[in-house]
Chain A
Amino acid sequence: MKSVEQDNSLIREISAEKYRYGFTTDVHTDIIDRGLTEDTVRLISERKGEPEWMLEFRLKAYRHWLTMEMPHWAHLDIPEIDYQNISYYADPTVKKEGPKSLEEIDPQVMKTFDKLGIPLEERLALSGGVAVDAVMDSVSVKTTFKQTLAEKGIIFCSMGEAVKNHPDLVRQYLGSVVNYRDNFFAALNSAVFSDGSFVYIPKGVRCPMELSTYFRINAAGTGQFERTLIVADDDSYVSYLEGCTAPMRDENQLHAAIVEIVVLDRAEVKYSTVQNWYPGDENGKGGVYNFVTKRGLVKGVDAKLSWTQVETGSAITWKYPSCVLQGDGSQGEFYSVALTNNWQQADTGTKMIHLGRNTKSTVISKGISAGHSQNSYRGLIKVGEHADGARNYSQCDSLLLGSDCGAHTFPYMDVKNETAIVEHEATTSKISEDQLFYCNQRGIPMEQAIGLIVNGYAKEVLNKLPMEFAVEAQRLLSVSLENTVG
């Protein structure tokens, strides 16, 4: 019974809180004027001190974005977004006066990340811990363990630094997986993107620690448009974690990011996300719009890319982390838990594009809907003509808690090769009354019983997360489910 007791105390502890990351930090932030024009794009590029080719890249994307319309095919009810009423660049690291020093970080910013549980002091981190790139609004505040990683030849820095210090690598890979023409939000991001992380793992190197980026929106009236690029060269391995939070505000803030991953011969990348943007209050007011394009090009032979995501935040989520399985024998994995409560909406899933021979993909998606929320899985399994021996297995389960929510499944399968085997299974049901009864019988109150069962239901995915994240994800699931029992 000890473990149940522990769980209970954990749940008691967290049920007192709602969204614990909803505070704001009072830090001097340099925010550019609202609105998006060609001048805005030039201004962002200038602030970041970018070379000419980067500006050209942005302008091309901006001009293309002007010709596009916002997509409406997702099972989402997205209110009209005024793209001219958002500030596209906010820098909390600029000092009021005096020369700017890279080493010096505003103590308020340090405090913020401390409060979020993200140690920016290397000495505070556990041994063999996690290297962190902390991004607040549009700017990377600090990247830890850079030196330790550099000894192995690993590049881990903010995108802004990478453009300056590793222009050849950035030029080679930026936009090679997600073209600026890819979709509306990809074009927008390509035009105005600010810091995300850049990771390069050289040939044959196994990254000795987890790399992590923590995204924080702080300033009001802004959006976050970060861009992350990960390149894993031959025979390398890296596990990358991503976390995100935002203050509680009545306004809706836009987050439109791009993550590009290139995996070369026999390399492996594990990408884990715990998405906890502010989901809005219980009446659906406020919250972050999370419109993200994440894609990995699994280019090398026997290369592997694994996406794991726990989605509990955001008012609206539009996100399909994908794998283009180009290398022969390459593998793609997607493990997802998406939980929506109150008035949240999520349309999320994956795309597995099998192009190489003997490629394999696995998709495990667990959706949990509560309150008045709508939760959809949307996935595509595509097998190209030359993808002999392609193999896919997809499983999508949905759990409904309450009679006012919705759970939807929209899988697409497009098979052009006769040797392919593609399997899809989906189930939708409510939480088992037998299991609830069993828990109640043993004195576990309804709310905690639901928490336990949901955690068990999501275990298959949570097990794929690195340990630090798994604990966090379990807590999140329980908190997000608060007040789902009437």
Chain B
Amino acid sequence: MTPVQNYIDLFKQNRALIDRGSAGALNSARDNALDCLLRYGLPHKGLEEYLHTDVGEWFEPDWGMNLARLDMPVDFAQAFKCSVPNLSTQLYFLANDSFASSETASRNLLPDGVYAGSLKDAALERPEILEKYYGKLADMDKPGIAAINTLFAQDGFMLYVPDGVVVEKPLQLITLLSSKVDLMVNRRILVVLGRCAQAKLLLCDHALAANQYLTAQVTEVFAGEDSALELYDLEETHYANRRASELYINQEADSNVEIDYVTLHNGRTRNTVFSTFAGRGSNLSLNGIATVDKEQHVDNMTFVDHRVSDCTSNELFKYVLDDSASGAFAGKVLVRHGAQHTESQQTNRNICLTRQARMFTQPQLEIYADDVKCSHGATVGQLDDKAMFYMRQRGIPEAEARMMLMQAFVGEVIGRVSLEPLRDRLNRLVEKRFRGELTQCEGCRACR
């Protein structure tokens, strides 16, 4: 039996249980998801988009799923690892895929009308928002994880900022993966920003136990007119973790969105971004860093759809690959007919540190309008010999010099992070990562 059939059977047998553990719009979206999953199946290597990451294969093992919403105790003290010095954040927690209330997560600290919290609760308390937005961007009419995620998602996180409201304090959502069995997690995140609204959201992924995890995460972002959103997605899990995420963004006129993906430590990761410009004058800054070693694998795929004129997109992804790690990047920029005055720049730079490290990159431009400025560039290479020589000449030991160069290499991406304390924190984390300290930390018992 195919894995898809297993999941479909599981769903049909447990439909009532799943619905009971969830609410409203999350439940009503499942029928369509089932149709789409039956029609398109799971992504597999035969598809060009998944050529380098066989996401479908990840779904083959018999994963445990917490459909009955059993309480899984999670040690939130572990979250201190995620604290960003000098940055006071509004903290929220997800234990696997269930929203866990914490003492600091008090809604009163947020401006009036703002909702930040459990998606399931939102489906009960603010059903009108979910009716309007939930599942409206995630495209299930293709092989992907949106369908299977919608089929099983029972909870997650929602951030809703009404028109004209500015949330000054950054919000931080920490996901802790912890269970006694190998677990599949279906996480759903919905971010809605009204007209002229502003918010900053930091997502951190951690794995606490040595079990294997499969995370299927779907995030939908609606950026209203003139709104501003900064979204940071930081992954610090372990070798036995598999993560497939899909992020959908819809930008109305004059909105500014910044997305930063940071993969510091992982097993196998596939992040897919689908971004659409629906209103003129919008800007998107989409960045990514991956520092991987051993047999880790990171695959980022981005698709930026310039549907209207006068929008700007700027992408920068950098990978440092050590040991037998492998990386893939595929970025596509589509400029539709009539989307004049589009400016788009896409850059992917990679360093392979060993013979076994492997990089695959595929930047793509598809352009149907003439008055545009679009460019992309990609490189795969090593650390600059001349720079290395220069530093050695000045008495810097080789190991140190290598580290400085690697840090400078990813520093360009970190420099784009708007949130200053986070920038400092990332610099430190990356340095730790390059020194190999992160893989030996106490918090991560799964390290090899």
Contacts and interface: CB of A to CB of B under 8 A. Distances in A.
Interface stretch (A87-95, A139-147, A416-424): A416-424
B367 A406 contact: yes
Interface of B: 48, 337-338, 340, 350, 352-355, 357-382
Nearest to B364: A410
A429 interface: yes
Contacts, number: 112
A344 interface: no
A121 interface: no
Contact of A401 (B337, B353, B363, B370): B370
A411 B362 contact: yes
A414 B360 contact: yes
Contacts of B48: 73
B361 A417 contact: no
A412 interface: yes
Interface string A395-410: 0001011111111111
Interface in A125-177: none
A99 B353 CA distance: 71
A385 interface: yes
Contacts of A115: none
A409 B364 contact: yes
B377 A415 contact: no
Residue with the highest number of chain A CB atoms closer than 10 Å, among B354, B360, B379: B379
Given A408-B366, A418-B355, 15 more contacts: A73-B48, A400-B367, A403-B338, A403-B371, A405-B370, A411-B362, A418-B353, A418-B354, A419-B355, A420-B381, A422-B378, A425-B377, A427-B374, A427-B375, A430-B372
Given A408-B364, A426-B363, A400 B379 contact: no
B305 to A, nearest CB: 14
Contacts of B371: 403, 430
Contacts of B379: 421-424
B376 A409 contact: yes
A402 B370 contact: yes
Q: Among B337, B338, B378, which residue has the most Cβ atoms of chain A within 10 A?
A: B378
B382 A428 contact: no
A409 B366 CA distance: 6
A10 interface: no
A413 interface: yes
A428 B367 contact: yes
B276 to A, nearest CB: 19
B13 to A, nearest CB: 39
A426 B358 contact: no
A422 B375 CA distance: 17
A408 to B, nearest CB: 4
Contacts of A405: 368, 370
Contacts of B363: 409, 411, 424, 426
Interface residues of A, number: 36
A291 B85 CA distance: 61
Given A421-B380, A428-B372, A407 B340 contact: no
Given A406-B366, A421-B382, A426 B372 contact: no
A73 B47 CA distance: 11
Contacts of A403: 337-338, 340, 369-371
21 contacts: A383-B380, A401-B370, A406-B368, A408-B367, A414-B360, A417-B355, A418-B353, A418-B355, A418-B357, A421-B379, A421-B382, A422-B379, A422-B380, A422-B381, A424-B376, A424-B377, A424-B378, A426-B365, A428-B365, A429-B372, A430-B372
B380 A429 contact: no
Contacts of A398: 365, 367
Contacts of B365: 398, 407-409, 426, 428
B384 to A, nearest CB: 10
A415 B358 CA distance: 6
The 8 closest A-B pairs by CB, nearest first: A400-B370, A418-B352, A421-B381, A427-B375, A409-B365, A428-B374, A415-B380, A430-B370
A408 B364 CA distance: 7
Given A403-B370, A420-B381, A413 B364 contact: no
Contacts of B354: 418
B301 to A, nearest CB: 14
A416 B368 CA distance: 34
Nearest to A377: B365
A106 to B, nearest CB: 48
A421 B337 CA distance: 36
B382 A418 contact: yes
A33 to B, nearest CB: 39
A129 to B, nearest CB: 42
